[in-house]
Amino acid sequence: MGSLNEVELVLFSIITLIILENLFEVYIALRQVKVFKTANKVPEELKDHMSDETFHKARKYGLDREQFGICKCLLMDICVIPLELYFGLMAYMWQAALYWVKYFKLNADNEIIVSCFFVVLISLHGYLKDLPFKLYATFVLEQKHGFNKQTVRFFIWDQVKGLLVGNILTILVSAAVVFIVQWGGEHFFIYLWVFAGVLSLILLTIYPIFIAPLFDKYTPLEEGELRTSIEKLAASLKFPLTKLYVVEGSKRSSHSNAYFYGLWNSKRIVLFDTLLLNKGKKDITDLKDEDKGKGCTNEEVLAVLGHELGHWKLGHVTKNIVIMQINLLLIFFTFNYLFKYAPFYEAVGFAPGVKPILVGLFVVLSYVMAPYNAILGYAMTILSRRFEYQADEFAQKLGFSQKLSQALIKLNLDNLGFPIHDWLYSSWSHSHPTLLQRMHRLQELDEADKKKK
């Protein structure tokens, strides 16, 4: 049992770290807000593509989103979460879990059973806290700027499915984690690491096949010029393409995307219908006026996929998985040495001697390792931006430079992306280089190729 001063030191150190980290996030967000308010001219590089009207729409959209994010951070992360810690919310949740375990006449001495009830209660609490912000973001902010496509009925059903699937997975994983820690002895962190690695590979495999279709409709890309071109590109790069899908993302949002997934020799490419010109439809009579003309041409879609396949060819996915596994080993190793430290539990409201494994894991990972997580997050952002430049260069070498630039501009316009950013905000927050940075880099590569000739 830690002394009262030691417990208080732990509690107030955690609260101080949370407040300082989020104040920094607010600070850099305010820097970007200043940019939104003061940048009034379309950059020279985009004057032929972006009208003043679109520029100001993007500025207003970006400003609304950033101000919303700041308000949410101030209220939830700087006020509510420290208060929850101070008043011992997790300990109350644990007691509530014990109550329900006894109510259903289950074994209250079995930590695995209690932990399963605990994670469900924590999940529901977090969901209810976030729901007003989610509703505002979807039906006010996104609706105001023309991006929300969800009906209230679709939103409710989507949330129900998300809660059910999320809680089922959380219960299974939590039960396994508690069992491994109890069973694994002094070196449980190694078994926990192996479990996490196997689980991540399983989820990477089954999520797109079995879980993602519960939320969105996936259909094979119809035969035609685009499909033939994609298959030829994949074959030329020896990309083991087995399936090519279009996801009906337009029922959720008008934002665009494309990605691939799958392990080893079974890869699948997914295109959002919003990425395709006129949602990929030949007959556009049923399209709303605001959707007509949006999206990328076949050549531009191919350029985007050239970039995405560059990530695969250059091993970026594998490198990220390796980094994730090394990080997990370090996290579990740290947890192994810290989770028995009594003041961590007493600081968040537990009685002396009560040390639930999941609570210890949450406190160590989320709060004790917060400075490390922030540094790692920034390092991964830097690495991600480097990977994006490399993938752009790969697409450029395939001859897609011009079409990729056009696609990036078009996607930026369709998504009302604001092209001007504060340097600190961008370097800290953006996993991708900005539109102008990517355009400049592609131009530099083209000019370098011309000089070689």
Ranges 169-183, 197-211, 265-279, most confident: 169-183
Residue 283: the pLDDT is: 63
Largest CA distance in the chain: 80
Mean predicted confidence (pLDDT) in 55-75:
96
Tens digit of pLDDT for each residue in 81-108?
Answer: 999 999 999 999 999 999 999 999 999 9
Q: Is 165 helix (H, G, I), strand (E, B) or coil?
A: helix
Residues recognised as catalytic: 308, 392
pTM (two decimals): 0.88
Instruction: Take residue 54 and report the two structure tokens written for it.
Output: 């679109």
Distances (CA, A) of 154 to 159, 215, 286: 9, 10, 21
Q: Residue 276 — pLDDT band, cuts 50, 70, 90?
A: confident
**Structural contact between residues 213 and 219, judged by C-beta atoms closer than 8 angstroms:** no
Contacts of 386 (CB under 8 A, 6+ apart): none
Question: Of 203, 181, 197, 174, which is closest to residue 326 (Cα–Cα)?
Answer: 197
Q: Residue 80 — pLDDT band, cuts 50, 70, 90?
A: very high
State how far the Cα of 347 lies from the Cα of 326, in Å rounded to an integer.
30
Which residue ranges make up each domain of the chain? 216-295
Q: Which carries the bigger pLDDT value, residue 383 or residue 213? A: 383
Strand pairing report for 241-247 and 267-272: parallel
Report the chain's mean pLDDT, rounded to a whole number: 90
432 annotated ligand-binding residue: no
Residue 3: the pLDDT is: 53
Cβ neighbours around 224 below 10 Å, total: 11
Tens digit of pLDDT for each residue in 132-172?
Answer: 999 999 999 999 998 888 889 989 998 999 999 999 999 99
307 annotated ligand-binding residue: yes
Is pLDDT at 254 greater than 70 in this prediction?
no
Question: Of 227, 320, 313, 218, which is closest to residue 270 (Cα–Cα)?
Answer: 218
State how far the Cα of 98 lies from the Cα of 107, in Å rounded to an integer.
9
Indicate if the alpha-carbon torsion angle 160, 179, 111, 370 is positive or negative.
Answer: negative
State how far the Cα of 337 lies from the Cα of 209, in Å rounded to an integer.
38
Residue 396: the pLDDT is: 95
Mean predicted confidence (pLDDT) in 350-367:
92
State the distance between the two ends of the chain, measured CA to CA, in whole angstroms.
74
Instruction: Take residue 257 and report the two structure tokens written for it.
Output: 């995307």
CATH number of 216-295: 3.30.2010.10
**HSE of 346, CA atoms in CB hemisphere, 13 A:** 17
Is pLDDT at 452 greater than 60 in this prediction?
yes
Contacts of 205 (CB under 8 A, 6+ apart): 262, 263
